[in-house]
């Protein structure tokens, strides 16, 4: 893992911190209890519950390492109120897909917070990169697998 700053919103930082705390306390305990219970059943070589719990333990510990690294290198980005009409991390942006005449809304967030289902796109995503630093009325072009897509920025909040 590299040691670059990882940009996050304050909300995203708090979510990562909560996940880390949950994984280190509650989830670790639950997994260790399942392992203990499975060990009581005898022969571990054919004990599926034991092997599944150990695999889950490994995944949990790996995620803890990633979360600790992310939090260590996180830089909380506050929305600059002086430039609130400029797209930045923390902005809510309404855009119009000019080809399909479709209105879309996105929250611009750091890469660890991105969740397209929740309309959160990373500042490092193709669309996020193009939107960053732009203002209402700007038209951006994004390369996609289907070709170039043009968006007009309708609102920046």
55-101 pLDDT tens trace: 999 999 999 999 999 999 999 998 777 888 899 999 999 999 999 99
Per-residue confidence (pLDDT) for residue 41, from 0 to 100: 83
Q: Which residues span the domain enclosing 128?
A: 81-156
pLDDT score recorded for residue 152: 97
HEC assignment per residue over the chain: CCCCCEEECHHHHHHHHHHHHHHHHHHHHHHHHHHHHHHCCCCHHHCHHHHHHHHHHHHHHHHHHHHHHHHHCEEECCCCHHHCCECCCCCEEEEEECCCCEEEEEEEECCCCCEHHHCEEECCCHHHHHHCCCECCCEEEEEECCEEEEEEEEEEC
Same domain assignment for residues 112 and 139: yes
Question: 12 and 68 in one domain?
Answer: yes
Mean per-residue pLDDT of the chain: 93
Answer whether residue 32 shows pLDDT above 90: yes
Total domains in the fold of the chain:
2
In a domain, 41, yes or no: yes
pLDDT at 136: 95
- Give 1's pLDDT tier (boundaries 50, 70, 90): low
pLDDT band at 2 (very low <50, low <70, confident <90, very high): low
Q: Which of 76, 100, 126 is the last residue of a domain?
A: 76
Confidence of residue 53 (pLDDT cuts 50, 70, 90): very high
Q: What is the CATH number of the domain that holds 68?
A: 1.10.287.180
What does the pLDDT average to over 21-43? 93
**48, 114: one domain:** no
Q: How many residues does the chain have?
A: 157
Last residue of a domain, one of 76, 104, 122: 76
What does the pLDDT read at residue 114? 94
């Amino acid at each position: 893992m590299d040691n670059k700053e990882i940009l996050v919103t304050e909300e995203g930082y708090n979510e990562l911190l909560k996940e880390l705390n949950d994984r280190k306390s509650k989830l670790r305990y639950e997994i260790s209890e399942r392992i203990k219970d499975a060990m009581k059943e005898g022969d571990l070589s054919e004990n599926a519950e034991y092997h599944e719990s150990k695999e889950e333990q490994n995944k949990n510990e790996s995620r803890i390492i990633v979360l600790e690294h992310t939090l260590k290198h996180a830089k909380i980005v506050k929305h600059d109120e002086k430039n609130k009409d400029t797209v930045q991390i923390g902005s809510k942006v309404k855009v119009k897909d000019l080809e399909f005449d479709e209105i879309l809304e996105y929250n611009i967030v750091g890469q660890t917070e991105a969740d397209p289902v929740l309309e959160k796109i990373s500042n490092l995503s193709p669309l996020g990169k193009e939107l960053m630093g732009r203002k209402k009325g700007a038209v951006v072009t994004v390369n996609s697998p289907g070709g170039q897509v043009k968006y007009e920025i309708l609102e920046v909040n």
